[in-house]
Structure 1
Amino acid sequence: MNIIQEKNYVWILVIVCFFIFFMNLDVLYPNIMEARNFITAREMVTDDNWLLTTMNGEPRYEKPPLPTWLAAVAGMLFSFDNLTALRIPSAIITLILVLFSYRLGVYFLKDKKQAFISSLVLATSFYVVFAGRNGTWDIFAHSFMMIGIYYIFQFFSSDEKIWRNALLAGTFIGISFMSKGPVSHFALFLPFLIAYSIVYKYSNFKKKWLPLISLLIVATVISIWWPYYISVMDGETAKAIAEKETTAWKDRNVRPFYYYWSFFVQSGVWTVVAFVSLLYPYLKSRVENLKAYKFSLFWTLAAVVLLSLIPEKKSRYLLPVLIPLAYTTSFYLTYIFKSFEKKLPKFERIPIYINFGLIGLVGVAFPIVGYLFLKDRLTGFLSPFAITSIILVMIGFFILKYVIQRKIHMAFYLIIGFLMTAVTFGFPLANAFLDNPKYNSLQDISRKAETEQIPVYMFNIQSPELVWDYGGKVPLLHSHDLTIPKEKTFKTLVMIGAKKSLEEAFPNAKITYLETFDLNPIDSTKSGYKDRLRTDMYLIQHN
């Protein structure tokens, strides 16, 4: 039963993405990665410095500048105080990622409905939702690469529009590099090439060598012009930063090879069905397009294996894996949609009962569990809580009903509605946890400095969130290479517990504690409390 017409697939994807990626973008305070990006974007505009990028006035060449340019333009148009505007570019590029994943799916799956299903899975996978709502670099790199893959797939598999496909593929592969260096080339593009070579193989290249060379030239030129410019204009700094980044990949956040083996969990609400979709011996006789299934499966597994080879590992690095995993998951979901109403063995129904049933139960139980969890925090949040509760209870009830009736396709679409509701109406409830009684922003410091004519410095710290909240550049004083400020009286921000180092750096000065600034949204008794978001301010007076 097809309750949605093919002609509406694209519009529905746009609507789903609007509710998931564009709603309530200003709820959460910028994380450390966003703060770095936004600071650099702000300094691009204030210093009119768009190529030799900086963070708090110091060189920031770790990441190529394309996403930061987009954040800077958004800040120029709507103000750097507007978090929604700064995050809009990420939401837009994620929408583009979902639409091109659909277009590629139509091309190699040969089934518009399955392509639609895979795109919905992608749009609602946990880390895609996370990255699409944050102003960081990863989502840009993988989204642009996905556009490049769409065109290079056609370049490999078709003799039509060879030059168009080659040049567009090269352009977007290069633009991906301008978003986060070679990250997506290694984690998304190389696994794609491996999977394609295994399943489809490379043939009929007699007419394609010249376009292929052009593709490589275009991608290379777009990729290297900015690093080359940096190396010419500030080569020593660029070299030092490159060495630091290389060391970090080898020595920081080192995890064992098998750390990513639970990668399917990052798909969130699709965890169980995503896991089953990886069971090739089980699914190979149940899919209609075995060749396409092998391709998406090998693409997924190749990405996981390659990422596992890198010593530095973080869960968010699995973002590119979720793209081919969405295709892989769609094969199992398509099989279930067609077969579940028939007489299936009980063991085949169990994963569906677990995956869909648990979400239905969460929806039905949300008002009770939510109330017990929030309790007194609900003051001022009763309206969003009530709206979210009513809608989720209804959705949860119907998910359970359709699972019992074996109408799994209906339950699937309701899960999409579940997530849309959670983001649109439930996300503001996150503010109910902002209960740090000692919360104190730095935003007024710069204005006070101008009024009092007393400059402000940072001593041995450059926590990005603190600099972002301050609202401008804060000159740094390094104890290992101390430059004494020319002013006899100044203020300095010092990390908690570092007063002794400050006294050693200024032994002949009078040091007076002024106040503590704390950007933590939760109090110090909670496990998520971060010391780097807290700093003391001292007044330094020289005789």
Structure 2
Amino acid sequence: MATARAQSHRWPWGALAAPLLVLLAVGPTLSWLEFSGGSESLLAATALEMRRDGSWLLPRLCGEKRIAKPPLPTWITAAAISRDTLDRLDGPPGGWRDLAYSDLAVQMRLTALLAGCGMLLGVYALGWAIGDRRLGLASSLVAASMLIFLMQARKATTDIHLALWVCAANAFLAAAALRGRWWLGWTGAGIALGLAIMSKGPVALVQSVVPAATYIIARSFLAAAGPAVSADDPSLRRFAAPSLGLLLMLLVALPWFAYVALNTPDVIARWRAEVTRVGATDQPPGKWYAYISLFALVVPWTIFLLGGMWMAIQRIIARRIDGLALAMLLLVVPIVIMSLAPDRKARYLLPMAGPAAVLSAAALLDLSDRWARRRRLDTLAVGVHWAMLAVLAAGLPIAGAAVLKTLEGRPWYTPWQAACAAMVMLALLALCWRVRPLDRSILRATVITMLLLHAVLVWGYRDTAEGRSELKPLADTIVARMPGAQVYSVWPNRPLRLAPPELPIYLNRIVRRSADVAAVPSPGDAPQALLIRQRRNTPMPQPPGWAFVQTAPQDDDWWHLFERE
């Protein structure tokens, strides 16, 4: 009894395994890709302007307030930028300035990677609350080797910060609901939810509180046993703990929103659009079934996720509303609700990677425990998983040598590089195949393969058009030819659009928008640069009083650079 008690209070060092592996494998690759658009460039440009100009409470992008989303990820990213790096960004184009931008990428993305490592700790805690430490360790390793996690954990975006705090909140809620840790669970969940709301808004409640409440209600209706809600629980604990959690959440989340609402009269309508996603973007809505892509994004764990979901469904049918049912609700309920919004993007699924990992790990451990009594379907599932790993290990290097091309038209890898990468990963798979028991074999093989594949993929991807910034050469020209110039951007027929965020990043200055060329103010004695975006099939503009300098492509358009004469 004493030994069991000592083990239960022993520090869970295994929780650090997945975060340390990810930090060591992904960390060295953070500087390999340039800022090339998307949500990462938006956050990076805002953080850089915040660090440079000191606009901490009311973040700005291109000189205009960017307050549609809460600023916690921007604060963290901006605080990570060193003053030395910021100063070196203003140097002349070339080696030292490029090195400064490499340092900037590492500093910004390291905050995201650390948030991802924190997310893995949350997944471990969720698995532990649902099952035990073995399930917690397996869940964190599964999450660390999922495609969606490796895609997003290296990017400085709001999504990875949201996922961190949502996973933490879910772990605390599971501790309250499943283990009766009411004070710890509800107070911890309140703080985590406040930070999650400060990361991306009320969507955090959809991804945590709503499914957890659904679980508690379902369990009470189906009269399933559980230590968290029993007839003899003191009323003070049952109602005071959630009330304290709610209070803590509001104390963390509300002050910034109140400050912005008092200083920006029209912000309520903008927040409403952000929450409903109606009018929040001018992009076409996603397909109603877009989130089915979850099964592709959890590769290579798709088979085990399906198995874990089936286990949870069987328990629900049998009226056993236990931890696996909670994991199932944490996965499915947010996806159903989020599908009602018109804006559906794959990266929005990242917070649900936590419960998906728990379900996958539960299926893996269950199969491992009964492997001696396996059925034909079990053998097929394991065979599919190993085959998927082998195809990924050999397929990416082969495709990189034969099909995938860099910006210059060269293959991603030479035949020698591709052969070496494929042989190393296949050899490691063969070594892991011999490990027993089954769960250790599959976990080791999958984590090693996916972390190595991530490095191989990013190494080849860095020289593609998507891995480089198409507008960095344009920014370099402005810095070299017109240092200290005022920069303006014009989008014909779209006067409200700001310049692409890569431009203020690689210029390290504000790029102000202008409704048209005639509206650009007189510069006085300062040099002035003008950027005009045009469709590729339209003639290049010739604005009077401006001399053409350079053109750069972006997507299906051209950006034309002019200098004030």
Cα contact 2:190–2:249 (8 A) shared by 1: yes
Compared with structure 1, are the counterparts of its residues 148 and 187 closer, same or farther at alpha carbon in structure 2 (3 Å cutoff)? closer
Question: Equivalent residue of 1:248, what SS?
Answer: coil
Q: Distance in 1 between matches of 2:138 and 2:314?
A: 17
Q: Distance in 1 between matches of 2:54 and 2:22?
A: 34
Does 2:246 correspond to 1:216?
yes
The runs of 5 or more residues in structure 1 that have no matched partner are 521-529
Compared with structure 1, are the counterparts of its residues 258 and 214 closer, same or farther at alpha carbon in structure 2 (3 Å cutoff)? same
Compared with structure 1, are the counterparts of its residues 213 and 368 closer, same or farther at alpha carbon in structure 2 (3 Å cutoff)? closer
Does 2:312 correspond to 1:307?
no
Shift of 1:26: 1.5
- Find the counterpart in structure 2 of residue 388 from structure 1: 421
359-368 vs 466-475, greater mean Cα deviation: 359-368
Shift of 1:259: 3.2
Q: Distance in 2 between matches of 1:437 and 1:215?
A: 44
Q: Distance in 1 between matches of 2:201 and 2:458?
A: 33
Compared with structure 1, are the counterparts of its residues 192 and 428 closer, same or farther at alpha carbon in structure 2 (3 Å cutoff)? same
Q: Distance in 1 between matches of 2:304 and 2:444?
A: 15
Cα contact 2:485–2:528 (8 A) shared by 1: yes
- Find the counterpart in structure 2 of residue 360 from structure 1: 390
Cα contact 2:475–2:503 (8 A) shared by 1: no
Compared with structure 1, are the counterparts of its residues 22 and 449 closer, same or farther at alpha carbon in structure 2 (3 Å cutoff)? same
Q: Distance in 1 between matches of 2:170 and 2:234?
A: 18
Question: Equivalent residue of 1:138, what SS?
Answer: helix
The one-letter code matched in structure 2 to 1:389 is A
Compared with structure 1, are the counterparts of its residues 235 and 24 closer, same or farther at alpha carbon in structure 2 (3 Å cutoff)? same
The one-letter code matched in structure 1 to 2:113 is A
- Out of 452, 456, 470, the residue aligned to residue 487 of structure 2 is 456
Q: Distance in 1 between matches of 2:412 and 2:360?
A: 41
- Out of 106, 112, 123, the residue aligned to residue 133 of structure 2 is 112
Does 2:125 correspond to 1:95?
no
**Matched ranges for 1:6-405 at <5 A:** 9-30=14-35, 31-76=37-82, 79=85, 81=101, 82-109=104-131, 111-157=132-178, 162-199=182-219, 202-203=229-230, 204=233, 206-208=235-237, 209-236=239-266, 238-239=267-268, 241-242=270-271, 244-245=273-274, 246=276, 247-248=278-279, 252-280=283-311, 284=315, 291-340=322-371, 342-364=372-394, 368-373=398-403, 377=410, 385=418, 388-398=421-431, 401-402=433-434
Cα contact 1:253–1:313 (8 A) shared by 2: no
- Higher RCO (CA < 8 A, seq sep 6+): 2
RMSD: 3.6
Identity rate, percent: 19
Q: Distance in 2 between matches of 1:255 and 1:223?
A: 29
Q: Distance in 1 between matches of 2:473 and 2:424?
A: 36
The one-letter code matched in structure 2 to 1:42 is L
Cα contact 1:70–1:89 (8 A) shared by 2: yes
Q: Distance in 1 between matches of 2:313 and 2:163?
A: 30
Alpha-carbon displacement from aligned partner over 1:52-89 (angstroms, at most 9, x marks no partner): 11001011002111111111111135625220110111
Q: Distance in 1 between matches of 2:516 and 2:395?
A: 55
Compared with structure 1, are the counterparts of its residues 266 and 6 closer, same or farther at alpha carbon in structure 2 (3 Å cutoff)? farther
The runs of 5 or more residues in structure 2 that have no matched partner are 1-9, 87-100, 220-225, 492-497
Alpha-carbon displacement from aligned partner over 1:161-190 (angstroms, at most 9, x marks no partner): x54544333222111111111122112332
Shift of 1:22: 2.2
Shift of 1:304: 2.0
The one-letter code matched in structure 2 to 1:24 is T
TM-score, with structure 1 as normaliser: 0.83
Compared with structure 1, are the counterparts of its residues 367 and 53 closer, same or farther at alpha carbon in structure 2 (3 Å cutoff)? closer
- Out of 531, 535, 538, the residue aligned to residue 559 of structure 2 is 535
Compared with structure 1, are the counterparts of its residues 408 and 373 closer, same or farther at alpha carbon in structure 2 (3 Å cutoff)? farther
**Matched ranges for 1:380-529 at <5 A:** 385=418, 388-398=421-431, 401-402=433-434, 407=438, 409-424=440-455, 427-433=458-464, 441-448=473-480, 450-451=482-483, 455-460=486-491, 461-479=498-516, 482-487=519-524, 490-497=528-535, 509-518=544-553
Q: Distance in 1 between matches of 2:282 and 2:48?
A: 31
Q: Distance in 2 between matches of 1:113 and 1:44?
A: 43
Alpha-carbon displacement from aligned partner over 1:342-400 (angstroms, at most 9, x marks no partner): 2433233222211222212432566544432358836997886565334212124346x
Question: Equivalent residue of 2:29, what SS?
Answer: coil
Cα contact 1:378–1:432 (8 A) shared by 2: no
Shift of 1:483: 4.9
The one-letter code matched in structure 2 to 1:296 is A
Cα contact 2:15–2:136 (8 A) shared by 1: no
Question: Equivalent residue of 2:339, what SS?
Answer: helix
Cα contact 1:78–1:85 (8 A) shared by 2: no
Shift of 1:158: 5.5
Compared with structure 1, are the counterparts of its residues 440 and 232 closer, same or farther at alpha carbon in structure 2 (3 Å cutoff)? closer
